[in-house]
Amino acid sequence: MPCSLRVDHKIISTRFACDLAACKGACCTFPGGSGPPVSEEEVPILERAWEAVRDLIPGLHRQEGERLGLIVPDGEDLTIRCYDQRACLFVMYEKDVAICSIQKLHQDGKFDWPKPLSCHLFPIRVRGRRNDQLRYEEFSECAPALESGARDDIPLVDFLEGPLKRAFGAGLFSELKARSDDFHHRDGDGR
């Protein structure tokens, strides 16, 4: 892999496709209070996004963000503040499904940035002291995505093509895709 990037084999071997109707956007509302990690470069974009999404998010989220700020230092990392130790402040709800308000505006052509990179790459996380590891993080809330990916034969690498290219470029994506394709097509089904 380029730049000595170490890739968790589960990224290559897992089939995954989000099923929002089943999980209800659980990745945006995990309990525990620590929101998605963000880079220092993303903070000004998030501040700009906050102004754009103010009318989309729940009033209690807006009040929390205005009172305490959007970003929380978490050890060496920065994270987005969560409301009630759970929902990312940028969450909005469509019926009973939590979705990212930034992503919604982006999809509607009203904001020029899709969402924080860590959210876009989820369930892949960049780890290591030099950000040189890609790890697949398993969450029980994502069981519907595993079922959907298996049913529809969608490898995780394919599902995250856009975010992987955004984060690491087309070259690394092509390498990951070749490894994933090889795994999934070996012996007819990758097993």
Burial of 145 (0-12, 13-18, 19+ CB in 10 A): buried
Q: How far apart are CA 170 and CA 186, in angstroms?
A: 24
Please answer whether residues 10 and 124 qualify as being in contact, where contact means their C-beta atoms are separated by less than 8 angstroms. no
Q: Which of 159, 24, 16 is nearest to 87 (CA)?
A: 24
> 10 pairs with which residues across the strands?
none
In tens digits, the chain (191 residues) has pLDDT values of 445 789 999 999 999 999 999 999 999 998 877 789 999 999 999 999 999 999 999 999 999 999 999 999 988 889 999 999 899 999 999 999 999 999 999 999 999 999 999 999 999 998 766 677 899 999 999 999 999 999 999 999 999 999 999 999 999 999 999 999 999 998 455 44
Nearest alpha-carbon partner for 12 in 161, 191, 176: 176
CB 102 within 8 A of CB 117: no
pLDDT at 127: 78
- Listed by start position, the domains of the chain span 1-16+123-185, 24-113
Determine contact, residues 15/155, Cβ cutoff 8 Å. yes
Question: Is the C-alpha dihedral spanning 118, 123, 124, 128 positive or negative?
Answer: positive
Give the predicted TM-score (pTM) of the model: 0.90
- The predicted structure's pLDDT at residue 191: 47
**Other C-beta atoms within 10 Å of 75: how many?**
7
Q: Tokens for 61, please give them.
A: 């989220």
Listed residue (174, 187, 166, 191) closest to 15, CA to CA? 191
Residue written as token pair 């919604």:
104
| The pair of three-digit structure tokens given for residue 81, joined into one six-digit string | 């503040």
Token pair for 96: 């009973």
